[in-house]
Structure 1
């Protein structure tokens, strides 16, 4: 919608500058076209840079955690990436499932806490959504609705659990 307002403002500004005769009507229409054009440009820039009309929404999922290795009990495995503290944690939420789930250090962070009562992983995903339908309609051609921001994995482990490299 804001792109349509930009187009209408530019056409109104250009056509009134070219085709209208001098007078107060020309000044009014040129001003209206210029205000529409510049206002639309400012709204587009604010939407891309400051996420105008959007709010952050966080969803939390808590699932039980089982040992990453079927041979060893009470172990959480990770793979080291490079020389930094970037690790990919491998975890299971179902002991019968043969595939392991992975964390992604590029899209989020991992917190490991020991001494919990139950073994579980808390996954928090943060998204940007439009505040209301009017903002979504205004900026529908800009930033998409339900845009992913980040993710956090919090591993709550009982005492006695080991965190080991693969």
Structure 2
């Protein structure tokens, strides 16, 4: 509405100054329309440059966080924006069965942070926007279409200690490496589990079948975790 007032006062000032004869009425109207023009112009500039009539409002949203990778590994992925890796777009899921992955937005107003937690994995998003202080302010300046203008957004990913953070390139390399070494790792795992079982039976020959089964399962899981960690380090250090 302030822009409408600016246009009307400009036209009225022009018509009054050009077409009216010199008189007290002309001077009065010229002063009124001139003041209206100056005031509306100043307010438009202040609204645009200093967000006059507006205030900052921050909202916090918590979103469930699930792995963007396979069921074998809890994974948070990111895509670097630019060559210096100063900005990242993080890729994740909100539910396990989610088909289309979610991602953050690439913008200088948006920052991301990854924190380790012993609690629930989640994404906490704090968003700060400009909003009008009142309906009157929105009535006068809302035509500028700057209500709820984004100031900043900070995404904090809370992930547990065992989660892995990889770039999309590293994740692809890891997948390829795991397929290439699948047969080798399978044979090595068999040997590793066998050695663990033999060592345990030497210490306690009276182990039951159920105890041996638990031992084999634990040894296989341990080997798999160590092998995966080794491959992760390999893709992280490779160029």
Query: TM-score over 0.5 for the alignment?
Result: yes
Partner of 2:133: 131
Partner deviation per Cα, 1:88-116 (whole Å, 9 max, x = no partner): 21111111112211112315110111134
User: Which of the two has higher C-alpha Rg?
Assistant: 2
Structure with the larger strand share: 1
> Measured at CA, do residues 43 and 159 of structure 1 come closer, stay the same or move farther in structure 2, by a change above 3 Å?
same
Q: How does 1:11-160 map to 2 (within 5 A)?
A: 11-85=11-85, 86-106=87-107, 107-160=109-162
Partner deviation per Cα, 1:92-146 (whole Å, 9 max, x = no partner): 1111112211112315110111134221111222222211110111113213322
- TM-score, structure 1 normalization: 0.88
Structure with the larger helix share: 2
Deviates more, 1:43-52 or 1:20-29: 20-29
* Consecutive aligned runs of 4 or more in structure 1 exceeding 6 Å deviation: none
Partner Cα separation in structure 2 for residue 93 and residue 108 of structure 1? 19
> Measured at CA, do residues 72 and 78 of structure 1 come closer, stay the same or move farther in structure 2, by a change above 3 Å?
farther
Partner deviation per Cα, 1:4-36 (whole Å, 9 max, x = no partner): 221232233223222333343332221111111
The unaligned stretches of length 5 or more in structure 2 are 169-239
> Contact 1:44/1:142 (CA < 8 Å) preserved in 2?
no
The residue matched to 2:139 in structure 1 has which SS? helix
Q: Which has the higher contact order (CA 8 A, sep 6+)?
A: 1
Partner deviation per Cα, 1:49-88 (whole Å, 9 max, x = no partner): 1111112222221122122202432221112233222222
The unaligned stretches of length 5 or more in structure 1 are none
> Measured at CA, do residues 20 and 80 of structure 1 come closer, stay the same or move farther in structure 2, by a change above 3 Å?
closer
Give the number of aligned pairs: 166
> Contact 1:66/1:119 (CA < 8 Å) preserved in 2?
yes
> Contact 1:76/1:162 (CA < 8 Å) preserved in 2?
yes
RMSD (Å), alpha carbons = 1.9
> Contact 2:81/2:106 (CA < 8 Å) preserved in 1?
no
Deviates more, 1:105-114 or 1:144-153: 144-153
